[in-house]
Chain A
Amino acid sequence: MIEVDRRRFLLAVLAAGGVGAIGVTSTTGCAPKPTLADARSSLIGLWDAIVPGTHNGVVEDRLADGRPAPGATDAGVMEWMESGVGTLPPPLDYITDWFLRAWAADLDLWADTFHPPFEGAPTFGALPLGPTFAERGRQYKIMLMQGLFDGILDLKYFGAVTLAKLAFYCDFRSDTQGTPRVGGPYIGFPGAVGTAVNPNFTYARPFGTADARLTATPGGLVAVP
Chain B
Amino acid sequence: MTRSVDIAVIGSGFGAGPAALRSAQAGATVAVIEEGQRYDTRPGAVAFQQTQSDLNYLLELWRLSLGFDWTSSTASLAITARGLGGGSLIYSMVSLRAPSFVFDDPVWPAEIDRAELDPYYSRAEEQLGVVQVSWTGNRPDDDWKMASKRDAAFAIACEQADMSCDPVPVAVNQNCGNLGWCSTGCVRHGKSSVDLQYLQTAEDLGAVMVLGTRVETIEPAGLAAGRRWRLRTVRTADQGADEILADTVVVAGGAIGSPVVLQQSAGTLGHGISPQCGRNLSRGGDLMIPVVLPEDFESRFGIEMLEQLPGKIIGSCSFQHLFEPPPGFDDSWQPFIIQPMMVLPLLSTIMVADPDGITSDGGDMRAFGLGHKHLMQQWGTRLLHLGIMGVDGMDGTVTAGPAGTGTISFGLAPETKSLFAGARAAAAHMMNSIGGQALPSWDQIRGDSFTIHPLGTCRMAESVDLGVIDHLGRVYRSDGVVYDGLYVMDASTYSSPIAVNTSLTAAAISERATEHLLAAL
Contacts and interface: CB of A to CB of B under 8 A. Distances in A.
Interface of A: 6-7, 10-11, 51-52, 55-57, 117-118, 121-122, 124, 127-129, 133, 140, 143, 146-147, 150-151, 154, 156-158, 160-165, 167-168, 180, 182-184, 186-190, 192-211, 213-214, 217-225
A217 B122 contact: yes
Given A164-B346, A202-B143, A221-B130, A182 B367 contact: no
Contacts of B345: 168, 183-184, 187, 189
A222 to B, nearest CB: 6
Contacts of A207: 135, 147, 151-152, 155-156, 159, 165
Taking residues whose C-beta sits less than 8 angstroms from the other chain, chain B's interface range is 35 or more
Contacts of A156: 68, 75, 446, 448
With a 10 A CB-CB cut-off, give which of A127, A154, A161, A187 has the most chain B CB atoms: A187
A157 B66 contact: yes
B53 A192 contact: yes
Contacts, number: 243
B470 to A, nearest CB: 26
B179 A195 contact: yes
A-B pairs, 4 with minimum CB distance: A208-B155, A211-B164, A164-B346, A208-B165
Given A165-B53, A182-B376, A187-B381, A203 B152 contact: yes
A167 B323 contact: no
Interface string B114-155: 000000011001100011100111011001001111011011
Contacts of B52: 164-165, 168
Given A195-B177, A204-B135, A154 B66 contact: yes
B400 interface: no
22 contacts: A127-B369, A143-B368, A154-B66, A156-B68, A156-B75, A157-B75, A163-B368, A167-B346, A168-B52, A183-B349, A186-B377, A186-B383, A187-B345, A187-B379, A193-B179, A198-B179, A207-B165, A208-B166, A210-B164, A221-B131, A221-B169, A224-B100
Interface stretch (B11-19, B307-315, B473-481): B307-315
Given A183-B376, A203-B152, 19 more contacts: A118-B364, A121-B362, A121-B364, A127-B370, A143-B367, A157-B64, A163-B368, A164-B346, A164-B350, A165-B53, A165-B55, A182-B373, A195-B188, A202-B311, A206-B135, A207-B151, A210-B166, A211-B323, A217-B122
Nearest to B151: A207
A195 B376 contact: no
A220 to B, nearest CB: 6
A167 B368 contact: yes
A224 B96 contact: yes
B299 interface: no
Interface in B438-490: 446, 448
Interface string B353-391: 000001001111001111011001101110100000000
B178 interface: yes
Contacts of A210: 164-166
A213 to B, nearest CB: 5
Given A188-B381, A202-B146, A202-B152, A197 B159 contact: no
B73 to A, nearest CB: 4
Given A143-B369, A195-B188, A187 B380 contact: yes
A52 B56 CA distance: 11
A205 B136 contact: yes
B319 A208 contact: no
